[in-house]
């Protein structure tokens, strides 16, 4: 008996005709999707396969009867005449093979199996690669299929998701790529960020860090809340100093002896270029304090003089201001106020033609350790040693120099205020020798603070800094301890001792951004990196 012929009667092909047609449809669909391949798998020399055509070069016998004809689309020949080999055009494990069994085709299959050149890839390998490439491309729009909730208008979906907490938004972002992109919207994270520590939002909701995505800031704020950070040292000094520092953009300004050095931060914000790009000099003794204002550096020196330096030029003016060392200085709106050990505070103009002309001299009865101008430029507050007056905090009119009010009435003698800062025109913070941080609200009462936080180890507090919302940082006198406070709680949140017993030093000044905290001690400048703990 010969092998099956290709010219069998259509009526004798039976149900396998439909199977072959289905295989062809599947194969045509693959070709339409861009699957690689020279022709439809399973086609023979004449376009229809049979069981005998699995061997190269064989043609069906001429006398094949219509009763044996039949298997179009390729299959395994039935009955004892089957060769026992799977037809290469059938839809089975060998569905990707071609019926052309020439040596060249076999060589190509061998090259593909052993990692041959890219031109010899099979259709199945190419299909897998195309699917992987398609999966890597994120959809530009929301998915067409899915729950009816995702087909709502985006405004309504934003409103619904705005009620979710941080954990729920994080889980929702894992559903699909479109939701991950949707849940990264700043609007969804603003409410969470305002309740977080040091996320760049003030108490009134003003965003101070618009260039950084809100979601990224919320992630870093969790490190502040949990106290996760990496400690390092940015600068070291050979002799003991009492440094003061300020931040402006990507620059750090820090005083060392009678100089003010300007350093550039590297892009990570956790390291400095070792060489300063500017050096400001002029004082004969150490710089006690300085501020940045109106493109100027206004410095107070131990020589009783005030220095005014242009940030981006060599312009420097120095004039005698007090009889003793100038402990503090502030500058806003073209006005300079200074406080000295000689128990006076003075008001000066910043205008270049009037530098050195004193507008007001105020007798404070005590040495002045700290000073700050109100944001609305109507008054300023002085923090004194609390030896000659019962209150170390007094508010003065900036235009006339007259006393407006004093804050508090239950200070013990010697409870001097070493640092004071306005948070708004009606609220301010103070700290000092009495080991307390006090929060004052002038709208309620000037006689008693509305909130206070006590240093647990009864240490003097040299400096403080706030994010304008919930976070408060303080530097104490022993072992260089930096403390973080959540102003919604009484207890200290975290403490970071930066020195040991032999090199114990106060924290003279500290500043922080949303990612890093910088603390200046006697011998070095420390950093706490909360972005990469």
- Number of other residues whose CB lies within 10 A of the CB of residue 291: 20
Burial class (CB in 10 A: 0-12, 13-18, 19+), 466: buried
The 10 Å CB-count burial string (b at 16+, else e) for 13-32 is beeeeebbeebbeebeebee
- Number of other residues whose CB lies within 10 A of the CB of residue 429: 23
Q: 298 pairs with which residues across the strands?
A: 291, 308
- Indicate the pLDDT class of residue 151, thresholds 50, 70 and 90: confident
d(CA 278, CA 54): 84
In this prediction, residue 53 carries a pLDDT of 37
- C-alpha distance across the termini of the chain, in Å: 81
Mean pLDDT of 501-508: 85
Measured at the alpha carbon of residue 462, what is the angle toward residues 456 and 467, in degrees to the nearest 5? 85
Whether 26 has a pLDDT exceeding 60, the answer reads no
d(CA 273, CA 161): 44
- Going 360 to 363 to 368 to 374, the CA torsion angle's sign is negative
Check residues 441 and 313 and name the one with the higher pLDDT: 441
Tens digit of each residue's pLDDT (9 = 90 or more) over 250-261: 999 999 999 999
- Indicate the pLDDT class of residue 24, thresholds 50, 70 and 90: low
d(CA 301, CA 281): 11
Tens digit of each residue's pLDDT (9 = 90 or more) over 458-504: 999 999 999 999 999 999 998 899 999 999 999 999 999 998 767 78
In this prediction, residue 128 carries a pLDDT of 52
- Indicate the pLDDT class of residue 29, thresholds 50, 70 and 90: low
Burial class (CB in 10 A: 0-12, 13-18, 19+), 155: exposed
Tens digit of each residue's pLDDT (9 = 90 or more) over 219-262: 999 999 999 999 999 999 989 999 999 999 899 999 999 999 99
In this prediction, residue 305 carries a pLDDT of 95
- Going 282 to 285 to 286 to 287, the CA torsion angle's sign is negative
Measured at the alpha carbon of residue 205, what is the angle toward residues 203 and 206, in degrees to the nearest 5? 105
d(CA 37, CA 411): 90
Strands, sheet with 344-349, edge to edge from the N-terminal-most edge strand: 326-332, 335-340, 344-349, 360-363
Parallel, antiparallel or unpaired: strands 245-248 and 368-373:
unpaired
Measured at the alpha carbon of residue 253, what is the angle toward residues 312 and 213, in degrees to the nearest 5? 95
Whether 170 has a pLDDT exceeding 80, the answer reads yes
Mean pLDDT of 9-38: 48
In this prediction, residue 22 carries a pLDDT of 53
In this prediction, residue 42 carries a pLDDT of 41
- Indicate the pLDDT class of residue 303, thresholds 50, 70 and 90: very high
3-state secondary structure of 418: strand
d(CA 95, CA 123): 10
DSSP string, 152-210: S-HHHHHHHHTT--HHHHHHHTTS-HHHHHHTT-HHHHHHHHHTSSSSSB-TT--BS-T
């Amino acid at each position: 008996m010969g092998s099956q012929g290709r010219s069998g009667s259509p009526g004798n092909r039976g149900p396998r005709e439909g199977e072959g047609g289905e295989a062809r449809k599947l194969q045509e669909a693959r070709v339409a999707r861009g699957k690689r391949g020279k022709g439809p798998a399973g086609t023979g020399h004449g376009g229809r396969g049979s069981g005998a055509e699995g061997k190269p070069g064989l043609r069906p016998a001429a006398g094949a009867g219509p009763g044996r004809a039949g298997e179009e689309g390729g299959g395994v020949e039935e009955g004892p005449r089957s060769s026992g080999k799977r037809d290469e055009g059938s839809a089975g494990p060998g569905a990707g093979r071609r019926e052309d069994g020439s040596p060249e085709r076999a060589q190509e299959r061998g090259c593909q199996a052993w990692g041959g050149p890219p031109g010899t890839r099979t259709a199945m390998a190419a299909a897998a690669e195309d699917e992987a490439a398609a999966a890597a491309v994120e959809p530009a729009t929301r998915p067409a299929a899915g729950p009816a909730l995702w087909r709502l208008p985006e405004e309504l979906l934003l409103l619904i998701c705005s009620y979710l907490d941080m954990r729920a938004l994080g889980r929702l972002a894992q559903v699909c790529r479109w939701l991950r992109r949707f849940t990264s919207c700043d609007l969804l994270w603003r409410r969470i960020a305002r309740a977080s520590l040091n996320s760049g939002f003030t108490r009134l909701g003003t965003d101070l860090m618009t260039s950084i995505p809100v979601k990224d800031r919320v992630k870093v704020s969790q490190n502040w809340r949990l106290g996760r950070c990496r400690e390092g040292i940015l600068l070291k000094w050979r002799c003991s100093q009492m440094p003061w520092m300020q931040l402006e953009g990507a620059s750090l300004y820090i005083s060392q002896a009678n100089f003010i050095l300007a350093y550039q931060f590297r892009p990570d914000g956790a390291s400095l270029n070792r060489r300063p790009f500017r050096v400001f000099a002029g004082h004969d003794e150490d710089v006690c304090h300085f501020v940045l204002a109106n493109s100027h550096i206004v410095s107070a020196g131990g020589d009783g003089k005030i220095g005014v330096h242009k940030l981006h030029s060599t312009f420097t003016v120095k004039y005698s201001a007090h009889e003793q060392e100038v402990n503090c200085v502030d500058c806003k709106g073209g006005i300079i106020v200074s406080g000295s050990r000689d128990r006076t505070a003075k008001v000066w103009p910043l205008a270049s033609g009037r530098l050195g002309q004193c507008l007001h001299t105020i007798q404070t009865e005590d040495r002045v350790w700290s000073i700050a101008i109100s944001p609305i430029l109507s008054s300023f507050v002085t923090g004194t040693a609390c030896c000659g007056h019962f209150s170390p905090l007094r508010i003065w009119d900036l235009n006339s120099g007259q006393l407006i009010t004093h804050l508090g009435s239950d200070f013990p003698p010697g409870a001097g205020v070493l640092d004071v800062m306005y948070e708004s025109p009606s609220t301010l913070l103070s700290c000092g020798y009495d080991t307390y941080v006090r929060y004052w609200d002038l709208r309620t009462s000037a006689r008693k603070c509305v909130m206070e936080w006590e240093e647990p180890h009864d240490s003097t507090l040299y400096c403080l800094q706030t994010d304008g919302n919930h976070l408060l940082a303080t530097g104490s006198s022993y072992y260089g301890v930096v403390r973080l406070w959540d102003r919604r709680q009484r207890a200290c949140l975290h403490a970071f001792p930066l020195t040991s017993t032999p090199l114990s030093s106060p924290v003279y000044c500290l500043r922080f951004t949303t990612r890093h905290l910088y603390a200046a001690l006697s011998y070095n400048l420390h950093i706490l990196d909360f972005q990469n703990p």
